[in-house]
Amino acid sequence: MRHFLDLATPGKAALRTILDEAHRRKAARAGLPKGALDSDAPLTGHSLAMIFEKPSTRTRFSFDIGMRQLGGSAIVSSAGDMQLGRGESIADTARVLSRFVDAIMLRADLHATVEALAESASVPVINGLTDLGHPCQAMADLMTVEERLGQPVEGTCWAWLGDGNNMAHSLIEAASVMDFDLKLGVPHGYDPDQAVMATACARGGSLDVVRSAKAAVEGAIVVVTDTWVSMGQAETKDKVGAMTPFRVTPDVMAAALPDAVFLHCLPAHRGEEVTDAVIDGAQSAVWDEAENRLHVQKAILLWCLGKIG
């Protein structure tokens, strides 16, 4: 069963297959209305269940439109409507949904929930975001960088600034699988999960944690950040104060390589983790990055359902 729960388990060959398919399908849709079918409509007759424990804009719309472009359909439900893990066990929910749909996408609070769903499902399960990782977003980041640079991500140097959160974890996995360098500029007390770091380092990942924004971006061709306070977390003055030196400003971007690309998975808190001059500037690729959620998730669906690779 091809689940897509993280970036390490599928492996490099699968991630390359997904990226290449995403590039190809995006190019093939040039000039088409957004609601038009892809010419081959490879998921005609297929359906996707989308379950949300957290609110979503990009994940929800991109998976829904992606399924339509591939010829299939999607059904959306909140976890509260389904009583996921309360009125019915996660395992039983997985067994029931597997009788109705061809794949399940879950945006969950806990990574253990998506793992439990995958363990009992007889159809592919896709991680739409958990507290531990955001692999679909990381794949869109890889695709966007390859578009901007016109070359594969292998051998490039990236910088992450801010909180060592789920997005950072997925980029740590991506760096170790796709062979690019990643320096993480994070304040004391907000490091990435040590188990995630240790596993990626054991895989041969080139990873480094530093305590200065400019030290992190030196030599970087990609600069990435995220909101300092994730969904469901309480904002504290202490955290905002600790993160402030890692705000992405024009001065920070100037310390990276001259053609460095800026990424942010959105929503952005302008003036906190990034200034308007950076997110709206020429080096920003955040709108391409948001669009690429659609193209890369279509490729993930095709890989999970055995249509590619």
Residue-wise pLDDT tens digits, 146-187: 999 999 999 999 999 999 999 999 999 999 999 999 999 999
The catalytic residue among 25, 58, 68, 107 is: 107
**Is residue 300 scored above 90 in pLDDT?**
yes
Q: Is 86 assigned a catalytic role?
A: no
Catalytic option among 25, 264, 293, 295: 293
pLDDT band at 237 (very low <50, low <70, confident <90, very high): confident
293 catalytic residue (yes or no): yes
Instruction: Identify the active-site residue in 102, 141, 226, 247.
Output: 226
Residue 83 has pLDDT above 90, yes or no: no
Marked catalytic residue, from 68, 134, 148, 247: 134
- Catalytic residue flag (residue 265): yes
Question: CA nearest 171: which of 194, 210, 197?
Answer: 197
Q: Say if pTM beats, i.e. exceeds, 0.85.
A: yes
Residue 232 has pLDDT above 90, yes or no: no
Annotation says 23 is catalytic:
no
Task: From the candidates 64, 265, 297, 304, give the one annotated as an active-site residue.
Answer: 265
Q: Is 226 a catalytic residue?
A: yes
Catalytic, out of 137, 157, 169, 304: 137
